Amino acid sequence: AQSVTQLDSHVSVSEGTPVLLRCNYSSSYSPSLFWYVQHPNKGLQLLLKYTSAATLVKGINGFEAEFKKSETSFHLTKPSAHMSDAAEYFCVVSEREAGSARQLTFGSGTQLTVLP
Amino acid sequence: NAGVTQTPKFQVLKTGQSMTLQCAQDMNHEYMSWYRQDPGMGLRLIHYSVGAGITDQGEVPNGYNVSRSTTEDFPLRLLSAAPSQTSVYFCASSLDRGLNSPLHFGNGTRLTVT
């Protein structure tokens, strides 16, 4: 069975400062991991994905995430926040369970506020 | 490039009414799904389809029906609306069921049941 824990429901940063959104997961097998962003009144948009290649994954809009198997973490970072980064962010685990189709598990989301 | 299109954007129903939420994708994706999003609960899978003519239940299927007569369309039917079905509904598709296939989301339907 798999689960996803986003450790902070809200994160607030000043514009121009680094962003860190934390995600821990549990998985019985080798999962794929995703980060999605949701702007107000919009659907979720893919930021980046980890698929067992490089452990440091670069995504759109300057975001990146590092897969750390020993820590079962997949934290999302950005060196310098921009006002347009204010949104909700979701960490997602993708795993194939025996005899069934892909199982996707969503974290409960982290709301990022960027202060001027 | 339309992607995933959902209609309507907003809907208000009275308890007991029925309605259909429409979802269409133009990317020739094999996999389609419906999620509901409630505050603090992330997204929960209602139903999904792995191809035309094939559907299956997700985590929270009660009170909802789906069908997949074409590759492009995957409507969600509420048979008898209840206040507990007040939520934001998202349709999402992916190329296939592969672990690495990312989901493409529509912009959602905000449903209120009074």
Per DSSP, the residues of A15-63 read TTS-EEE-EEEE-SS--EEEEEEE-TTS-EEEEEEE-SS-SEEE-GGG-
Cα–Cα distances in angstroms (integers) from residue B78 to residues B15, B20, B109, in the given order: 11, 6, 13
* pLDDT for the residue A64: 97
| pLDDT per residue as tens digits for the range A22-76 | 999 998 777 899 999 999 989 999 999 998 778 899 999 999 999 998 999 999 9
Is the pLDDT assigned to residue B101 strictly greater than 70? Answer: yes
* pLDDT for the residue B97: 84
Q: Please indicate whether residue B9 or residue A2 has the higher confidence score (pLDDT).
A: B9
Q: Do A43 and B40 touch (CB under 8 A)?
A: no
Residues 6+ apart with CB under 8 A from B84: B113
* pLDDT for the residue A9: 94
Q: Which amino acid is at B33?
A: S
Is the pLDDT assigned to residue A84 strictly greater than 80? Answer: yes
Q: Do A51 and B103 touch (CB under 8 A)?
A: no
pLDDT level of residue B99 (50, 70, 90 thresholds): confident
Share of residues in chain B with pLDDT > 90 (%): 89
* pLDDT for the residue A97: 66
Q: Do B105 and A43 touch (CB under 8 A)?
A: yes
Q: And the tokens for B4?
A: 């995933």
Over range B23-32, report the average pLDDT.
Answer: 96
Identify from B56, B91, B100 which residue to disrupt to test chain A contact, counting A C-beta atoms within 10 A and taking the largest count.
B100
Residue A109 Cα, gap to closest chain B Cα (Å): 6
Q: Do A43 and B92 touch (CB under 8 A)?
A: yes
| pLDDT per residue as tens digits for the range A10-29 | 999 999 999 999 999 998 77
Average pLDDT of chain B to the nearest whole number: 94
